[in-house]
Amino acid sequence: MKEIKQINLFISCPGDIIDEIYSIEVIVKEINKTFGNIGHFAIQIVHWNEDTYTDIGQDGQEIINNQIDYDILIGILWMRLGTPTNREKSGTVEEINRAIKNPEKQQLVYFKTAPPSNLNSINTSELNEVMKFKKELSNKILYKEFETIDKFETLFRLNLSNLLKDKFINEQKPIQNTTVVASNKDNKYQNIVSLIDEIENSSKGSFEDIDIFEISENGQDCFKKITGNLTNLTSYLNKLTKNLNKGTTEINEVNNIKDTRLKLTKAKKIVNRLSTELDDFNDEINLELPPFSKNLKQVGKTTSDLLLTLRTYNNPDEHDIEANTLAFRDAMENSMNTTAQMLKEVMKWPPINLKFNTSKRNTEVALKDLMKEIMFGLKLIDEALDSDN
């Protein structure tokens, strides 16, 4: 029977983290059902309130430290640091620091950056403590930040897949060994017995949820869609650049007109046209951003599936996929740089009239949102490409 690696995952977070815990449970269940079955590993989520018992210690946190056995710690912080312990500012802080100091433990640490729905609920002193702890961690580990639950799910799925691929899958030393040892007289046929046991003890339907062709096709389809989004966005940016350059030239020409009334009339006409062109650009970007964001999330899931598939099956196509990913990353980075340059140009335009000022501000926000989405996509790709480093 194949050796089963049980990987214990411990979630450490204060009480203001709720949705992310559910997302972790869903993603872990999905990985266990698919790649866990064929890769012969099982992720078990451990909870301090379910996996500890009454015991004697300096405080409750020390009891948790002594009783919780895990391989991977997931630390998540947002607006609160948590309840202080006798040794650290909070239980979460203590658990994260203990994991960092222990070379046998892996850790994935996240900071949520979204504002709360009720701004009046912010405890500034506690938020300052979270910021201080984040600064302390910056000298110890590479933590991750996310703004929405969708972005957390995308990041976590990819990060966990990379960690499993690099640290746990195909390791010689199992975390939990469930090998059935045969008696001496069966040793002669041990290889046959092991083969029989592997089939008899494998879960029914272990491979039903895995379709290598589907994973590859999904990957190609996903990158095709996101490339289409980038092509459209680049087209919109190029058109806006052309319109702004044309407007700048026309304004400079108008400034040479000596007749003040004619100068104002022509300038107003140019500015109103520019306002309309900015509004058209904003509409195009705002229509393109939702599918772009959706496809980026799918890129994260597809990439994590591909990573696990490649390692589980020792697929030789890893280098080709890496080359294609690098090419896609270059396209993303070029788009981000173009967007940044465009934003700088738009910001140079002075206030002129109410219509133009409103259109200009909306364009600045649209370009900012676009840069944030592209930057998130670049982070996802970098996570994937750096997984073996």
267-294 pLDDT, tens digit each = 999 999 999 999 999 999 999 999 999 8
Mean pLDDT in residue range 207-221: 71
Q: Residue 150's pLDDT is what?
A: 92
Mean pLDDT in residue range 177-206: 56
Does the pLDDT of residue 304 top 90, yes or no? no
Mean pLDDT in residue range 108-133: 88
- Tell me which of 67 and 367 has the higher pLDDT: 367
Q: What is the per-residue pLDDT across 25-52, written as a single tens digit (0 to 9) for each?
A: 999 999 988 888 777 789 999 876 544 4
Q: What percentage of the chain reaches a pLDDT higher than 90?
A: 49
User: Which residue segments constitute the domains of the chain, with CATH numbers given?
Assistant: 5-168 (3.40.50), 212-385 (1.20.1050.20)
CA angle 247, 251, 252 (to 5 degrees): 120
Mean pLDDT in residue range 103-126: 88
* Residues in Cβ contact with 16 at an 8 Å cutoff, skipping those fewer than 6 apart: 78, 79, 80
Does the pLDDT of residue 186 top 90, yes or no? no
Q: How many CB atoms lie within 10 A of CB 40?
A: 20
Q: Residue 85's pLDDT is what?
A: 86
Does the pLDDT of residue 2 top 70, yes or no? no
Q: How confident is the model at residue 167 (pLDDT cuts 50, 70, 90)?
A: confident
**Residue 131 to residue 110: CA distance in whole angstroms:** 12
Side-chain half-sphere CA neighbours of 143 within 13 A: 25
Q: How confident is the model at residue 178 (pLDDT cuts 50, 70, 90)?
A: very low
Of 83-87, 247-251, 383-387, minimum mean pLDDT range: 383-387
Q: How confident is the model at residue 83 (pLDDT cuts 50, 70, 90)?
A: confident
Q: Residue 132's pLDDT is what?
A: 94
Q: How confident is the model at residue 215 (pLDDT cuts 50, 70, 90)?
A: confident
Mean pLDDT in residue range 46-69: 60
Of 18-27, 162-171, 282-291, 366-375, minimum mean pLDDT range: 162-171
Nearest to 156 by CA among 52, 318, 13, 5: 13
pTM above 0.85, yes or no: no
3-state secondary structure the chain: CCCCEEEEEEEECCCCCCHHHHHHHHHHHHHHHHHHHHHCEEEEEECCCCCCCCCCCCCHHHHHHHHCCCCEEEEEECCCCCCCCCCCCCHHHHHHHHHHHCCCCEEEEEEECCCCCCHHHCCHHHHHHHHHHHHHHCCCCCCEEECCHHHHHHHHHHHHHHHHHHHHCCCCCCCCCCCCCCCHHHHHHHHHHHHHHHHHHCCCCCCCCCCHHHHHHHHHHHHHHHHHHHHHHHHHHHHHHHHHHHHHHHHHHHCCCCCHHHHHHHHHHHHHHHHHHHHHHHHHHHHHHHHHHHHHHHHHHHHHHHHHHHHHCCCCCHHHHHHHHHHHHHHHHHHHHHHHHHHHHHHHCCCCCHHHHHHHHHHHHHHHHHHHHHHHHHHHHHHHHCCCC
Q: What percentage of the chain reaches a pLDDT higher than 70?
A: 79
Q: Residue 352's pLDDT is what?
A: 92
Q: How confident is the model at residue 88 (pLDDT cuts 50, 70, 90)?
A: confident
**Residue 293 to residue 285: CA distance in whole angstroms:** 12
Mean pLDDT in residue range 163-188: 58
Does the pLDDT of residue 214 top 90, yes or no? no
